[in-house]
Amino acid sequence: MTCDNESELKKIARNHPNAKLLLHIATEGITGDGEMNMVFGSTLKNCRHLLECAKECGVQVIGVTFHISSSTRDPQAYTHALSDARCVFDMAAEFGFKMNLLNIGGLSGNEFQLEELFHAVSPLLSAYFPEESGIGVIAEPGSYYVSSAFTLAVNIIAKKVENEQHLSGGKYTSTKPAFIYCLNDGVYGSFSRKLSESLNTAPVVHKKYNEDEQLFASTLLGPSYDELDIIVDHCLLPELNVGDWLVFENMGSGTVSEQSAFADFERPSLYNFMSFSDWYEIQDAGLTSDTLMRSLCVPCFQFGDDSFSTVA
């Protein structure tokens, strides 16, 4: 079990005194937007108090856990977290705890980001928690695996044209137009993680266009007209029209929701698709339960290609 405060520790001591605890320590990092991001957990100063309290209550503390937010793009955030974890292990040794487990939290992002993380974390683990120390290191790759499992295709349902304004000679002059597109899904649906995290949601235009075609500043909004329902604040796209499709990759983790936050706002229908090759692979593996078959459909038409998994 994990614990990050005294009241939780005492509750565990009362109800499950034989539990093996991981102290959840706080981490901080720089998000993709350049803002500081603080997640839940105990500070280093409070960890000493918790270890003392655990000793008094007779609770077994076996390790440390932390979580770096997926919105933190800098792998160096792990530098501070692993250094703090090493300090907690040293504190625990002073109280007689023999800790043997470190959980470095969830892994997300694409393969390139995972490679970057590996090169940043490996030397730190070798320095702070060498193999001969006997400390096991685990991670939680669930988000990393699940995100890439689904691709989301959304439809443009409204379009607005604005002119970019630039200050020149003390006067504002209009230059090339900027476009605002309203999509049929937003942060109160499949993009719900945008409300709590800075997601990398760069879209791909489904229709074919020339590579040398002019690109325009574009904003993508959800259908609720709520001020928070901003999917992408700024990106460069060719001019699109109502009815065009945009594709978002890596949308399989905590994104598809069956219900809307608004009682009077109807969610778009969700259709699950898979490629023929994946369908045959599932059948060959013997995974043909009625429940699975009801939730998946082989595409009966071509939508550009057969690689889309979810279409809104």
- Write out pLDDT tens, residues 39-71: 578 998 899 999 999 999 999 999 999 988 766
Per-residue pLDDT tens over the stretch 215-228: 999 999 999 888 88
Which of these, 304, 303, 302, 295, lies nearest to 272 by C-alpha position? Answer: 295
How far is CA 204 from each of CA 41, 152, 208, 238, rounded to the nearest angstrom? 37, 10, 11, 11
Q: Which CATH number fits domain 152-264: 2.60.40.10, 2.40.110.10, 1.10.357.10, 2.40.37.10?
A: 2.40.37.10
Note whether 82 and 125 are within 8 A (CB). Answer: yes
Q: Which CATH number fits domain 2-147: 3.20.20.10, 3.40.50.300, 3.50.50.60, 3.40.50.2000?
A: 3.20.20.10
How does residue 37 score in pLDDT terms, banded at 50, 70 and 90?
very low
How does residue 195 score in pLDDT terms, banded at 50, 70 and 90?
confident
Residues 151 and 247: their CA atoms lie apart, in Å, by 7
Note whether 150 and 256 are within 8 A (CB). Answer: yes
How does residue 284 score in pLDDT terms, banded at 50, 70 and 90?
confident
The rounded radius of gyration (Å) of the Cα atoms in the chain is: 24
> 3-state class of 20 per DSSP?
strand
Q: Where in the chain is the domain with CATH 2.40.37.10?
A: 152-264
Which of these, 222, 159, 155, 233, lies nearest to 186 by C-alpha position? Answer: 222
Note whether 255 and 152 are within 8 A (CB). Answer: yes
Residues 68 and 66: their CA atoms lie apart, in Å, by 7
